[in-house]
Amino acid sequence: MPGTFDVLPPESRRWEALLATFARLVASAGYGLLITPTFEELSVFQRVGESTDVVRKEMYDFVDKGDRHIALRPEVTASAVRAFVQHHPTTPWKVWYAGSNFRYEKPQAGRYREFHQVGIEAFGSADPDLDVEVVALGWEYYAALGLQQVELLVNSLGDGVCRPPYRALLLQFLAERRDQLCLEHRARLEDNPLRALDCKKPECRKATADAPRQIDHLCEPCSLHLARTRAGLDALGIPYRIETGLVRGLDYYTRTTFEYAGLALDSAQNALGGGGRYDGLVGEMGGPDTPGIGFALGLERILLALDAEGVETGAALPALDAFVVDFAGGDAARDLTATLRAAGLRADRAFDGRSPKSQFKSADRSGAAMALVVGPDEAAAGAVAIKDLREGAPQVTVPRADVVDEVRRRVGR
Ligand SMILES: [Zn+2]
Ligand SMILES: [Zn+2]
């Protein structure tokens, strides 16, 4: 299918590492796994923002056999809000997710119809210290993966009090310069004047250079919120840059918005992830007024950044601890792999009574750290020969009863 891809082992080990690292990190901060359907009624996503690209032209939607108009999810936040409204869990409600999202557009290099994200959402607190927690978790994730060239951009989009007057001010400013904007933002100016601010086209950049900035027109509560958020990032030693053009692609953000840029990537496509506060969204989707904040991080983009920085996440780890090579009848292969696996070690073996040569080839291909060899001599002596497959250490023979301890010692677990 165009715009989709498979991930096979061993390449998928990198994906395993991305997911396991994320799950461990956010679980340590009290976030629980949320699983929502991959498709929802179209209206769930439409309420998120009629004027955004995601909803206007990229939604992967269709009418099903039951005449329902449904859409494959373009992002998870809307589904998380829908789930929150439907199940009304106690707050604060802190959840994380990992999975596929979809957009319907012409497939092109680096843009897929099905793409993958991890993310978190936290509902029920307007405390700016929660903004700091959320922003910091994304930052720590990149660090845990080994990425070093990441820049954190932060902005405030105001709230229901200070955004409307700012929006009017911006619209007036841009309407006077309408013919200097790019064609797209000329036509859509009234829909969402903020989008011209993060347009990458030179016309829009030039025309908006001196545009009024939301950050200079915040009401006092928004101003205090931003100050406390900044103080928190400073206290945690997380560097960031205020980027007043950062408006994000979705309409629902309020106050804190942020983005992580991969500086090793081409600047036109360097967003590794981002998010923000959406204090009005639960109310707009039919729930009780509940503040919320979250982020989504794109796994394909993160893999590109890891490649660009030369970081070998996951692939550097041995896939297996040991591979059992048995040419003494097969009982040792059967029993030893079971013993190793029961001890929490990763072990595999060959089947079908293959020749020693063929089994050693499988052991090499498996990526195991060592081969545990049982030929007729070892079987008779109740012993196992250990052959290092990575470092080339000399082969040793140990009593069968000591094998688990010896493998543990060698792999450091
Ligand atoms: Zn533009
Ligand atoms: Zn405000």
Give the Å distance between the CA of 297 and the centre of ligand 2.
27
Q: What is the reported pLDDT for 107?
A: 76
C-alpha 352 – ligand 1 centre gap (Å)? 63
Residue 289 pLDDT exceeds 60 = yes
pLDDT of residue 175: 94
pTM of the predicted protein model: 0.91
Q: How far is the CA of 197 from the centre of ligand 1 (A)?
A: 8
The CA 173 to ligand 1 mean position distance, Å, reads 15
Distance between Cα 181 and ligand 1 center (Å): 6
Q: What's the pLDDT band for 49 if we cut at 50, 70, 90?
A: low
Residue 53's pLDDT is: 62
Ligand 2 centroid vs 31 CA: distance in angstroms? 28
**52-61, 223-232, 293-302, 375-384: which range is least confident on average?**
52-61
In the block, which residue shows the tokens 């509940």? 290
Whether the predicted pLDDT of 110 surpasses 80:
no
